[in-house]
Structures are given as structure tokens and as C-alpha cells.
A and B are shown apart, each in its own frame.
Chain A
């Protein structure tokens, strides 16, 4: 049973560029949440997807957008990258109404 997977593992981009990160949830899970984790901080909630719709959003600008596909996998897009967007981006999957939430290995994004 595959857990949560993310790609790519690492990414280096230049200011102003756009990036797409991908996530496949744990088998049987239907809800995907995205988090940004800066060094030494806890994960910050970006948004959550369920049934292909964004259900809830944290305090992130519109440069951050996402999508969920019919197979429950998800993408996070960030436009007009800033240096401050450098962080570990984590995807977490869960079952709607379930108790547990599992994280993928993350994508380390560096913006230069």
C-alpha cells in the first residue's frame, strides 16, 4: 500500500518563474491538504482539496493555486516566485471525516 508520494523531491527556480508540485494521496484517501514549512517553523496550511474543489484556504496570496484530479491526486502551482517562497512544501492526505492525516516526503523548493 503506497503512502503519500510527491514530486519532484527538490527544485531550484528563479524569481518570477512559475512552479508546479505534484502529490498522490495514500490509497483510499480522498482529501489533500498542502502546507508550506519554512526552516525551523511548523507547517503552514495553504489549502485543502476535496472532490476536486478547494474547500478551505489559509493566509496565502492568489499566486498559490491548486487543483485536484478525479483520481484524488493534486497539484500546487505557485506563480511569480519570490525568494520568500523557498521552503519545504508538504502534501498531506486524509479521508474526509477520518482521524488520521499522513504527509508525503515533501518538495524542497529553492528560489534564487
Chain B
């Protein structure tokens, strides 16, 4: 099975940088997703990491270390609209690659 841990809540200041961590213990690993979810809305795809290292996509970057069971999402130049929940999810390597989600990190951006 999969166990995924993320901080429950974080607060950061507009214009700053914030790092949201995710650790996982899995019986099998194919890749790791990050999603953004605004209150009352569906999750929006941000990234999918398969190999170790940092992948940058505009103001958002995602890092993966498979040996450590660790990932982080880095948000730069924070904007008020970045206030949302950020979900970490792991895709299994076994069978048909079920995706398991963490409970999410609620990020509040303050002026």
C-alpha cells in the first residue's frame, strides 16, 4: 500500500517563495503528481515526476528523490491566487497503476 504525508497548513507572504514537502512510503512507485485545488473546485494538474531531480514549469517547480521517498513543490513569486490546497499523489508501479493521494496542504498567501 501507500502512505503519503504532507503538512496540513502553511502560510506565506505575497512575493515570497514557499516549499511544500511530501514524503511517501510505497510498495511500488511509478511517479508522483502534484495538483492544485482551489476551494470547491476540482484538482488542477501541476506536474508529474518520474525521475530524480528538479523540473521547472514557470513559477512552479517540483523535485523528486526516489531513494528518500521525498518530493517538494516550490512556488516562487507567490500571488494571492496561489492560496489553495496542494495535493501530492503517488502512482503505483504494480498492476494498473492506482494513484493514491495525500490529504493535501492548505496554503494561505497573505499580503
**What's the nearest-Cβ distance from chain B to residue A78, in Å?**
19
B100 touches A56 (CB 8 A): no
- Closest residue of chain A to B104 (Cβ to Cβ) is A42
The interface stretch among A14-22, A44-52, A66-74, A79-87 is A44-52
The interface stretch among B12-20, B37-45, B63-71 is B37-45
Q: What total count of A-B pairs have CB within 8 Å? A: 53
B43 touches A90 (CB 8 A): yes
- Closest residue of chain B to A48 (Cβ to Cβ) is B96
DSSP majority for the A interface?
strand
B98 touches A48 (CB 8 A): yes
Q: Which of B43, B48, B101 has the most CB of A within 10 A?
A: B43
| Chain A residues with a Cβ closer than 8 Å to the other chain, count | 24
- A101 CB-CB contact with B under 8 Å: yes
In the complex, per-residue mask of B89-111: 1 if CB is within 8 Å of any chain A CB, else 0: 10000011011111110000000
Question: Which B residues are closer than 8 A to A by beta carbons?
Answer: 31, 33, 35, 41-45, 48, 50, 87, 89, 95-96, 98-104
Known: A40-B103, A99-B48. 14 other contacts (CB 8 A): A35-B101, A41-B103, A41-B104, A42-B87, A43-B43, A43-B89, A45-B99, A90-B42, A92-B99, A99-B50, A100-B45, A102-B45, A103-B45, A105-B41
